[in-house]
Amino acid sequence: MHDTPSSPHVVIIGAGFGGLRAARTLRKAPVQITLLDRKNYHLFQPLLYQVATAGVSPEEIAHPVRAIFRRQKNLTFQLANVTGIDFDQRQIHSTEGSLAYDYLILAVGSESNYFGLDSVKTHGLGMKDIDEAIAIRNQVLRMFELATHETDPEIRRTLLTFVVVGGGPTGVESAGALSELIRLVLIKDYPQLNIKDVRVLLLEASDRLLTGLPEDLQEFTAQTLWKKYVEVRFGATVTDFNGERVLLKSGELIPSHTLIWAAGVRAASIVTKLDAELARQGRVIVAPTLQLPQHDRVFVIGDAAYLEDQGKPLPMVAPVAIQQAEVAAKNVISLLNEVPLKEFQYKDPGELATIGRNQAVARLGRLKFRGVFAWLVWLFVHLMQLVGFRNRLVVLINWAWDYFFYERAVRLIVPSAKWSWTPGAPPRTESEQEN
Amino acid sequence: MHDTPSSPHVVIIGAGFGGLRAARTLRKAPVQITLLDRKNYHLFQPLLYQVATAGVSPEEIAHPVRAIFRRQKNLTFQLANVTGIDFDQRQIHSTEGSLAYDYLILAVGSESNYFGLDSVKTHGLGMKDIDEAIAIRNQVLRMFELATHETDPEIRRTLLTFVVVGGGPTGVESAGALSELIRLVLIKDYPQLNIKDVRVLLLEASDRLLTGLPEDLQEFTAQTLWKKYVEVRFGATVTDFNGERVLLKSGELIPSHTLIWAAGVRAASIVTKLDAELARQGRVIVAPTLQLPQHDRVFVIGDAAYLEDQGKPLPMVAPVAIQQAEVAAKNVISLLNEVPLKEFQYKDPGELATIGRNQAVARLGRLKFRGVFAWLVWLFVHLMQLVGFRNRLVVLINWAWDYFFYERAVRLIVPSAKWSWTPGAPPRTESEQEN
């Protein structure tokens, strides 16, 4: 596969933000790169919640990896699921066979963390990939369809209760977007429905939302969500969900068929199969150079890597992955040139979250914004980060449509791998059939 | 559910071209309408082949039914799967319960006809709905991924052989679009691939393509496809497909993992459960007024209805369904007013098929077109018929992108209900796991 077997072979696992940036950074390096991913596309995760709430279609936030790297001659893409890595033999084992590497950059990202709550994992809906986001869209729309011909008011209110768990950016953005989807769009689709039957809850175990933001913006976020009729509940810890009701630690029962889980992530489970020491959230402990302590040709970056900054673990966010990718890629070149490696130093660009129409919160360096200006910043930053001009244009059209016509384009119930409902099936989510 | 129980209740089953038009025609009639469909969206079937060939995303050719009828106050939509109809009791049985009607318009459409070829049904890929189109897209892209690291040239050529069966519009358009997808777009994604390993075959059992068109346009179509490197094969009847090779009646074996079935349709299978006489292709025999002979309050329209025009059965195409919908809807009103019913008379608007870039064939009334002008007509007609201005705009952007940049936007392999491949699985299609 490699025309110049003499040049060193760098394997990058994962085509997320980190993997893409590492590959690009090595664009002109005298190396052969193989990029592996189990999907053939790069997913723009920050907009996944908009797929779940029918704002954009999944194709608009995904971009084929081969298209991204078409012009990068020193890179080969391989669609494969990595099953194990032999650090001593420098071999990667995958569903498509084995692959030798000279240098390895692991950018495998994260997955939903259910903290051992099997019932939530079985009956709840995560939001880490396209099929999960479509499953949420299907489930929400299906509940409205069922509610239209449900005569028992208690059952109807249960159908129309939607529980989002987790007060981080994904939870906040999902709850806000879901409430607006219902109150601005679906209300017109289902005229026979009483909006007072609808509940959207955001459950947060601590007493704060968006912990990466200053306290006044946290407050503003909670208040804005509340004004959008999201029941923001603090100190609410989910302990069980059977597909029909959510049980909290306090003993409170919330009748609902829909639980969206955004309460935590952990490193992708492949890292548990590696000969490497793991820290909190299953993250791989790395040296400040991002190397594995025992294997200096192996770099781990992004959500899967554990490194502390001023005594605290680095957050599992895209800017960390992107900055680490650059350092890791340059350190590979330094190893080649036998010069000293660079240590990673995080430059925090800030944090952004949208709460709904015209409402967002933003911290950029030491500046704070909220309201319309923060919302415009959010729109601009996200649109510019999308891969591909066509995607940007189409997403912009959808956003404009939504904004001016109070219309969500993509409220379709389509068959999906994670959610195989057929008419007549019971209202609870059916992901347990797939597991 | 009905505010005015005194007004007659018209039930329309099916939200395809026929069902939508019937519902719209009854917009101002003094009736209550219930529109039933097992999907919550109207699908623009003529562009489904573009979903299969990665040109547009499914969300762009589907439109939520509730959005279409939001302003039509005398209509209620219900998402339900009809399981049977009792004509004597005037009751519809569905997965969501029973529903009484005063008048019934059956617009249930058609499904793939495998003519008893179970092996083709199991291993082949139909193209009647979104999940089937996505399954085709997944399968084609997956074959290219597998071929990139296949060292055995025979196995590689088998992976890269794509068989389309059926020389009607769907088969012609699919084969043309598939060949262009491969030769103009995928060739750039897979630079290590030899295009000479690729075969796209179009198998037609008779000796003609597009039988609804004049003979010179049929010839032009075959020649144009051939120039696009589609192996057009006449007199080729498929008798078996095991997921690894296609067997023809002649005994010829074509090694391939991909068979796209566009060789025929028949009325949706729900009609076999009705107390009604069926003709060829399982279509329900109707009177010229489109009523069931024994049940004058029941109308059948579109693909599911059998009616002859000048001694020949009406074609199973959208214009027939749309024109019949108007007659059936008006005949319902005539029954209400106790005036004589109208007999259906088909006005053939012509036929259109695109063969690829700048190439199409068109018959409009007695006029014939081919080449660039026919292609522009095809573009215009299809764009204008799409429901929703946003969909039109987004499809137009995708088409322009494709046209100017030789780029298909949506070449993603995504999990789907019909095609649940995981890396490492064998190359044959896996729809049999779902059946």
Give this prediction's pTM.
Answer: 0.89
For residue B427, the model assigns a pLDDT of 65
Query: What integer is the mean pLDDT of B209-213?
Result: 92
For residue A59, give the nearest of B153, B433, B60 by alpha carbon: B60
Structure tokens at A311: 């005594």
pLDDT beyond 50 at B388: yes
Q: Give the span between the Cα atoms of B289 and B331, in whole angstroms.
A: 7
- Judging contacts by C-beta atoms under 8 Å, the chain B residues touching residue A64 are 189, 411-412
Radius of gyration of chain A (CA): 22
pLDDT for residue B72? 94
B414 touches chain A (CB under 8 A): yes
Task: Give the distance from residue A184's alpha carbon to the nearest chain B alpha carbon, in angstroms.
Answer: 13
Q: What is the mean pLDDT of chain A?
A: 91
Residue of B nearest to A419 (CA): B417
| Statement: residue A101 has pLDDT above 70 | yes
CA distance A92 to chain B (A): 15
What number of residues does chain B have? 435
CB within 8 Å: A149 and B39: no
Task: Please state the rounded mean pLDDT for residues A109-129.
Answer: 95
CB A234, CB A204: distance < 8 Å = yes
Residues sharing a CB contact under 8 Å with residue B169, sequence separation 6 or more, in sequence order: B210, B351, B352, B353
Q: Compute CA distances A239 → A114, A119, A201, whole Å.
A: 10, 9, 16
pLDDT at residue B73 greater than cutoff 70 = yes
Instruction: Give the number of other CB atoms < 10 A from CB of residue B312.
Output: 7
- In angstroms, the CA A392 to CA B272 distance is 48
pLDDT of residue B1: 44
**Residue B384 touches chain A, beta carbons under 8 Å:** no
**Three-state SS at B31:** coil
Cα A201 off chain centre by = 20
A173 is catalytic: yes
Which residues in chain A have Cβ-Cβ distances shorter than 8 Å to B193?
Answer: none
CA distance A396 to A402: 10
Q: Can you tell me whether residue B150 is helix, strand or coil?
A: coil
- Cβ–Cβ of A412/B79 closer than 8 Å? no
Contact assessment for residue A212 and residue A351, using Cβ atoms and an 8 Å cutoff: yes
Rounded to the nearest angstrom, the gap between the alpha carbon of residue B244 and the centroid of all alpha carbons in its chain is 26
β-bridge pairing B367-370 and B359-364: antiparallel
| A420 Cβ under 8 Å from any chain B Cβ | yes
- Residue B309 Cα distances to A144, B287, B313, B332, angstroms: 44, 12, 6, 22
Please check whether residue A87 touches B, CB under 8 A.
no
What is the DSSP code string of B355-383?
EETTEEEEEETTEEEETHHHHHHHHHHHH
* A81 Cα to chain B: minimum distance (Å): 6
Q: Chain B within 8 Å of A414 (Cβ-Cβ)?
A: yes
Q: What is the pLDDT of residue A57?
A: 87
A122 touching B, CB under 8 A? no
Distance spanning both ends of chain A, measured CA to CA: 36
Query: Which residue do the tokens 């997921």 mark?
Result: B243
- The secondary structure of A155-217 as a DSSP string is HHHHHTEEEEE--SHHHHHHHHHHHHIIIIIIHHH-TTS-GGG-EEEEEESSS-S-TTS-HHH
The answer to whether A413 contacts B41, with C-beta atoms less than 8 Å apart, is yes
Q: Which residues of chain B have a CB within 8 Å of the CB of A137?
A: none
Measured between CB atoms, does A423 come within 8 Å of chain B?
Answer: yes
Question: Mutating which of A50, A150, A390, A402 best tests the B interface, going by the most B Cβ atoms within 10 A?
Answer: A390
Pairing mode, strands B91-94 and B97-100 = antiparallel
pLDDT at B421 over 60: no
Q: Confidence band (pLDDT; 50, 70, 90) for B109?
A: very high
Which helix (DSSP H) or strand (DSSP E) does residue B390 occupy?
helix B389-405
Domains of chain B: residue spans and CATH: 9-38+80-112+266-337 (3.50.50.60), 118-259+357-433 (3.50.50.100)
pLDDT number for residue B401: 74
Minimal Cα–Cα distance from B131 to chain A, Å?
6
Is the Cβ of B279 closer than 8 Å to some Cβ of chain A?
no
Q: Please state, for a pLDDT cut of 70, what percent of chain B lies above it.
A: 93
Measure the CA angle with vertex B236, ends B125 and B180; round to 5°: 55
Q: Count Cβ neighbours within 10 Å for each residue of B255-283 and write b for 16 or more, e otherwise.
A: ebbbbbbbbbbbbbebbeebebebeebbb
Contact (CB<8Å) A423/B189: no
Amino acid letter, residue A240: D
A214 at B interface, C-beta within 8 A: no
- Percent of chain A exceeding pLDDT 90 equals 76
Nearest CB to A131: which of B66, B415, B423? Answer: B415
User: A151 to chain B nearest CA, in Å?
Assistant: 10
- Cβ contact B192–A413 (<8 Å): no
Please give the angle made by the CA atoms of B170, A41 and A398, to the nearest 5 degrees. Answer: 70
A333 pLDDT higher than 70: yes
Note the pLDDT of residue B60: 86
- Chain A nearest CA to B352, separation (Å): 28
The secondary element (H helix, E strand) that includes residue A98 is strand A97-100
B79-108 burial: b if 16+ Cβ within 10 Å, else e: bbebeebebeebebbbebeebebbbbbbbb
Of the partner residues B64, B70, B413, the one whose CB lies closest to the CB of residue A412: B64
Mean pLDDT of B148-155: 93
The answer to whether B229 and B221 are in contact (CB under 8 A) is: no
In angstroms, the separation between the Cα of residue A218 and the nearest Cα of chain B is 35
Q: How far is residue B239's CA from residue B248's CA, in Å, rounded to a whole number?
A: 5
pLDDT at B434: 37
**How many Cα atoms occupy the beta-carbon half-sphere of A38 within 13 Å?**
18
Catalytic site residue from B132, B173, B351, B430: B173
Q: Which residues contact A336 (CB under 8 A, 6 or more apart)?
A: A8, A29, A30, A31
Torsion, CA B238, CA B241, CA B245, CA B249, rounded to 10: -30
Residue B430 pLDDT grade (very low, low, confident, very high; cuts 50, 70, 90):
very low
Contact of A61 with A43, CB cutoff 8 Å: yes
pLDDT at position A83 over 50: yes
Report strand pairing: A91-94 vs A97-100: antiparallel
φ, ψ of residue A251 to 5 degrees: the values are 100, -10
CB-closest option in B70, B397, B420 to A390: B397
pLDDT at A397: 80
For B69, which residue in chain A has the nearest alpha carbon? Answer: A189
Section B76-97 average pLDDT: 95
**Does B413 lie at the interface with A, CB-CB under 8 angstroms?**
yes
pLDDT of residue B57: 87
Rounded to an integer, the average pLDDT of A128-150 is 92
B295-300 and B291-292 strand pairing? antiparallel
* B426 near A CB under 8 A: no
For residue range B326-363, what is the model confidence (pLDDT) as tens digits? Answer: 999 999 999 999 999 999 999 998 888 999 888 999 99
- The span from the CA of A91 to the CA of A87, in Å, is 7
The long-range contacts involving A313-318, CB below 8 angstroms and separated by at least 24 positions, are A313/A279, A313/A280, A313/A283, A314/A346, A315/A212, A316/A110, A316/A265, A316/A281, A316/A283, A317/A351, A318/A17, A318/A45, A318/A46
DSSP B39-79: SSEEE-GGGHHHHHTTSS-GGGSEEEHHHHTTT-TTEEEEE
Phi-psi region of B14 (alpha: psi -120 to 50; beta: other; left: phi over 0): left
Per DSSP, helices labelled H in B89-163 are 118-123, 130-148, 153-159
Question: Measuring CA to CA, how many Å separate A418 from each of A135, A159, A414, B286, B420?
Answer: 6, 20, 11, 41, 10
**Which residue out of A60, A132, A173, A180 is catalytically annotated?**
A173
Q: Which amino acid, residue B229?
A: Y
ipTM confidence: 0.85
Question: What would the pLDDT profile of B222-234 be if each residue is shown by its tens digit?
Answer: 999 999 999 999 9
Report chain A residues whose CB lies below 8 A from the CB of B96.
149, 423-424
Burial label for B338, CB within 10 Å (0-12, 13-18, 19+), is: exposed
List of residues 6+ apart from B15 with CB closer than 8 A: B35, B37, B39, B41, B42, B65, B77
Residues of chain A found within 8 Å of residue B66, distances taken between Cβ atoms:
189-190
A409:B59 CB<8 A: yes
In this prediction, residue B365 carries a pLDDT of 82
Q: What is the dihedral of CA B182, B186, B190, B195, to 10 degrees?
A: 20
Residue A68 has pLDDT above 80, yes or no: yes
Please answer yes or no on whether B409 and A59 come within 8 Å at the CB atom.
yes
Query: Which among B363, B385, B383, B359 has a CA at the least distance from the CA of B373?
Result: B359
Phi, psi of A210 (to 5 degrees): 45, 65
pLDDT per position as a tens digit, B31-53: 999 999 999 999 999 999 999 99
A401 contacts in chain B (CB < 8 Å): 390
Q: Residue B3 pLDDT more than 50?
A: no
* pLDDT value of position A160: 97
Cβ atoms of B91 and B98 closer than 8 Å: yes
Cα separation, B375 vs A116, whole angstroms: 58
Q: Do B62 and A424 touch (CB under 8 A)?
A: no
Mean pLDDT, residues B82-89: 96
Q: Which residues 27-86 of A have a C-beta within 8 angstroms of B? A: 38-41, 57-60, 62, 64, 66-67, 70, 76, 78-81
Contact B38 A1 (CB under 8 A): no
- Partner-chain contact B149 A1, CB within 8 Å: yes
Mean pLDDT of A390-397: 78
Give the span between the Cα atoms of A288 and B15, in whole angstroms.
60
Residue B4 has a pLDDT of 47
| C-alpha distance from A322 to closest chain B C-alpha (Å) | 23
More confident residue, A147 or A430: A147
pLDDT tens-place string over residues B178-195: 999 999 999 999 998 899
- pLDDT tens-digit series, residues A191-231: 988 999 999 999 999 999 999 899 999 999 999 999 999 99
Instruction: Retrieve residue A108's tokens.
Output: 């495998």
Task: Please give the residue of chain A at the shortest CA–CA distance from B421.
Answer: A417
Q: Sorting pLDDT into bands at 50, 70 and 90, what band is A434?
A: very low
What is the pLDDT, as a whole number, of residue B413? 78
Place of tokens 């106790």: B338
The band of B127, judged by pLDDT with boundaries at 50, 70 and 90, is very high
What are the two backbone dihedrals, phi and then psi, of residue B357, each rounded to the nearest 5 degrees?
A: -50, 125
CB of B431 less than 8 A from some CB of A:
no
